Amino acid sequence: MCSISKKSFNNMKKISFLFLFSVVLFACSGTSQKSSFQTQSAFTTSTDTIVPIKKSDDEWKSELSAETYWVMRERGTERPFTGKWLANKKDGQYVCAACGYPLFSSEAKYETECGWPSFYESLDKSHVKEIVDNSHGMHRIEIRCARCGGHLGHVFNDGPKPTGMRYCINSVSLDFVPAKKDSTDKK
Ligand code: FE
């Protein structure tokens, strides 16, 4: 009886050890997945505090110019080197052309030869929404206004320091709000 109890006790020890080993394995696996997700989430943003603007296509059509509607609601792209903000060097903020939401600062704008206004970061990561775009045989990250969902452009990882990112944005998707004291007009 005593030897049977000892055997049972040993079996229980083995089972407990296997259970603990499984728990540790699962925990490690979870940690690994979380770490991987965090690495991939460089392109993700939080929209928790933003109240989305939702309008019908007809409403947007009545409010936006034909070109703005095409770019922002149908994900079009303006011709390179034609945008009105490409050469703008004034201090201020670039806001969504459809809803006025602040998107980029002039401080993050830099000169590039890609043909569209480019920024190395958004005003706040939560102000833009990033979506995987596999259209036209390419893998890109599309950028949309986090509030109205309007298409802005794409973001690439070939930008300058400090972020290494290039937010390549259609001028037609942006309005510009000059800084109140723009004494550093570089034009
Ligand atoms: Fe917007």
Distance 45 CA to ligand 1 centre (A): 15
Position 37 scores a pLDDT of 25
Check whether 187 has a pLDDT greater than 80: no
Please give the C-alpha separations between residue 150 and each of 98, 106, 145, 183, in angstroms, as whole numbers: 7, 20, 5, 32
CA–CA dist 79, 65 (Å, integer): 16
Distance 64 CA to ligand 1 centre (A): 12
DSSP 22-63: HHHHHHHHHHHHHHHHHHHGGG----TT-------HHHHHHH
Rg of the chain over all Cα atoms, to the nearest angstrom: 25
Check whether 94 has a pLDDT greater than 50: yes
CB-based contact 143:119 (threshold 8 Å): no
Distance 169 CA to ligand 1 centre (A): 13
114 in active site: no
Distance 40 CA to ligand 1 centre (A): 25
Distance 128 CA to ligand 1 centre (A): 9
Catalytically annotated residue among 96, 145, 148, 168: 168
pLDDT digits (tens, 9 = 90+) for 24-76: 322 323 233 322 222 223 333 444 578 999 999 999 999 999 999 999 999 99
- Per-residue burial over 71-82, b if 16 or more Cβ lie within 10 Å, else e, is bbbebeebeeee
128-133 and 140-145 beta bridge pairing: antiparallel
- Per-residue burial over 6-20, b if 16 or more Cβ lie within 10 Å, else e, is eeeeeeeeeeeeeee
Percent of the residues in the chain that have a pLDDT greater than 70, as a whole number: 71
Give the pair of three-digit tokens for residue 46.
Answer: 């939080």
